[in-house]
Amino acid sequence: MTKDFTTGSTYSRRDALRLMAAGGVACFAAPNLFGKPAFAQNPPTTPTGRVVVGLSQEPTVFNPLMAHTEVDDALHFSVFDALFRMDPKGVLQPNLAAEVPTQKNGGISQDGLQWRIRLRDDVRWHDGEPFTAEDVKFTLELVTNPNFRAWRTSGHSLVRDIKVVSPTEITWRMESVFAPYLSFLAETFMVPKHILEKEADPNAAAFNQTPVGTGAFKWAQRIAGDHIELVANADYFGEGPYVERLVLKYIPDMTVLYTQFVSGDIDLVDQAYITADHYEEASKLPGRVVTLEPGASVESIYLNLEKPQFKDPAVRQALYAAIDRKTIIDAIYYGIHKPTETFMPQNSYYYNPDLPAQEYSIDKARQILDEAGWVPGSDGIRAKDGVRLSFSNATTAGNNLREQVQQFLQQSFAEIGVEMTISNLPGAVMWGDFWLKSQFDSAISGVTNVIAADPDVTNRLHTSAIVAKGGKGSNTGQYSNPEVDALLEKGARTFDPEARRAIYLRVQEIVRQDLPFLPLFAYTNVFGRKEGLEGFEANSNTRVASWHAAAWHWKS
């Protein structure tokens, strides 16, 4: 999990589990229990100072419900609030809601279909209007408004019969049981009804350029192409904010992003963080705190399982055995990433640590292929039943570290009589239909599989998620295993964390055995900030470092 310097809290993962199982009741008693750093005992009484956050992409989508990418989250988390917040330990904490609903506390009915959310009564929008259950209803309805360019509708599309019981209580019915919806709600920021209901076209609302939220920081101004300035919301209902101004600065080049961290122009490096090749130098910089934080993505070689080369499990096992992951991580990625056997983030409660470890052995790889009947032809490339073990590999062109990995793999695979050609494509081409509609042989990609901290991977591994076969989702490797399908369906209907854990541990076991993709490593991000910036905590369950700027303050 995160390193000790950020967390003063002493509860363990087991405690976290108990909290999860006990629902939000315990959390309600101590709403600020989560992740409060020990040294944050003396933040200033009035917000003071300014923090400049560096981002390698420009936040441009300010309505948090509209289609956006992770870099926009940096703004949404500061200006808006969701009903719940996913803390660094993967435990849901109440935010605008007064408690996290569970089957135990009656917030969710035993059949999982009736939901009731109780809200805080002390929250105001930045313009002074009170936040009520009407705003929650409006938000949930806006997401599924067919004319609205919403980000995602999974989960939301199942919500029926929303009823505002009182200003602080709202209920609805789910069309079918969907346990991950709690996590979706942790990333669904509430928007003000009294402002947006007047707009004829929610896509073109003035609000989308100058957002009004309930969050710790208020919108101040935007210099397009350069930065966004936020100011402290003195009336914030939660902890903080302690800094007066929060600036999100866009720096379009990763090298320049790092240079400005060195020169002191930016106080904290957010997405896409410090590049691996700068880690060693950065960690020696005076006056800077540089740390390695586990990310949620896993870098893998995705195999298109509908291609005849990859249908035989022996081929996948042999390829996996032929990958020298240690050398790839140490020699190409400066040793910062961690080997992994699964798609699940390693600090997740649902991570399975007992999977068989990959062993690099060219001899074993050859042996597997020999035994499976793949015989080298006159050109040295193995073949069986007219299928040559030759395939192309694609990734984003210009990603030079990945290109080095490809060249390394090409040599390794050649040693076992497998031919891999490299054909890379520009990012916009690579991740369009080519990827989504499974037009590749094999691809290298860093993929985040979980949403918030929810372990549901239906969208990645369920048969119904294969777009190339008419499905809806992003199972681009076309993996299909009835047992996994059944487990995923069961997992999405189960609310109890312990019961879910058993399900997803088993899913990981099967997937490790089937090897639909070959995991290379779990990403580690290099975070950097100035010494004296306190209250910072990393949270791999969110997509940005600035997920809780409310707690930041400068050492006095």
Partner 1 sequence: MRGFLLNRLSQSLVLLLIVSVIGFVVLNLIPGGPLAQFGLDPSMTQDDLDRLKEQLGLNRPLWMQYLDWAWRLVQGDWGHSFRDGAPVLDVIGRHIFATLLLMGSSTVIAIAVGTWIGIRGATHRYSVFDYLGTVGAMVALSIPTFWFGLIGIYVFSLQLGWLPAGNMYTIGDGSALNYMHHLILPSIVLALVHVAIWSRYMRSATLDVISQEFVKTARAKGLSERRILMKHVVGNALLPMITLAGVQLPSVLTGALVTETVFTWPGMGRLFLDSLGYSDYPVVMGLLMFSAILVILGNLIADIAVAVIDPRIRLS
Residues lying near partner 1 in the complex (CB under 8 A) are found at 50, 52, 58, 60-62, 66-67, 69, 146-147, 149-154, 184, 187, 203-204, 208-209, 223-227, 229, 245, 247, 249-253, 255-256, 259-260, 262-263, 265, 426-436, 445-451, 459-460, 465, 467, 471-474
Closest CA relative to residue 123, chosen from 30, 25, 235, 242? 235
Please name every residue paired with 379 in a beta bridge, in sequence order, or none if there are none.
none
In angstroms, the CA 355 to CA 353 distance is: 6
In the complex with partner 1, the residue whose CB is nearer, 72 or 87, is 72
In angstroms, the CA 499 to CA 491 distance is: 8
Q: How far is the CB of 306 from partner 1 (least distance, A)?
A: 17
What are the angstrom distances between the C-alpha of 168 and each of 81, 143, 171, 362, 523?
16, 21, 11, 63, 41
Q: How far is the CB of 474 from partner 1 (least distance, A)?
A: 7
Cβ atoms < 10 Å from Cβ of 326: 12
Q: How far is the CB of 514 from partner 1 (least distance, A)?
A: 20
In the complex with partner 1, the residue whose CB is nearer, 59 or 238, is 59
101 close to 128: Cβ distance less than 8 angstroms: no
Q: How far is the CB of 327 from partner 1 (least distance, A)?
A: 26
283 close to 304: Cβ distance less than 8 angstroms: no
**CA 553 to chain CA mean position, Å:** 26
Helix (H) or strand (E) holding 387: strand 387-388
Structure tokens at 145: 């408004």
Structure tokens at 317: 């096992």
In the complex with partner 1, the residue whose CB is nearer, 75 or 323, is 75
60 close to 222: Cβ distance less than 8 angstroms: no
The angle at the Cα of 405, spanning 401 to 406, to the nearest 5 degrees, equals: 115
Helix (H, G, I), strand (E, B), or coil: what is residue 227?
A: strand
Supply the Cα-derived Rg of the chain in whole angstroms: 24
In the complex with partner 1, the residue whose CB is nearer, 146 or 286, is 146
Q: How far is the CB of 419 from partner 1 (least distance, A)?
A: 26
In the complex with partner 1, the residue whose CB is nearer, 2 or 438, is 438
Q: How far is the CB of 296 from partner 1 (least distance, A)?
A: 9
Q: How far is the CB of 502 from partner 1 (least distance, A)?
A: 22
Farthest CA pair distance, the chain: 78
Q: How far is the CB of 511 from partner 1 (least distance, A)?
A: 15
In the complex with partner 1, the residue whose CB is nearer, 238 or 473, is 473
Cβ atoms < 10 Å from Cβ of 169: 16
24 close to 87: Cβ distance less than 8 angstroms: no
In the complex with partner 1, the residue whose CB is nearer, 289 or 450, is 450
In the complex with partner 1, the residue whose CB is nearer, 390 or 474, is 474
The 387-388 sheet, strands edge to edge: 375-376, 382-384, 387-388
Q: How far is the CB of 446 from partner 1 (least distance, A)?
A: 8
Q: How far is the CB of 435 from partner 1 (least distance, A)?
A: 6
Closest CA relative to residue 269, chosen from 461, 421, 410, 71? 71
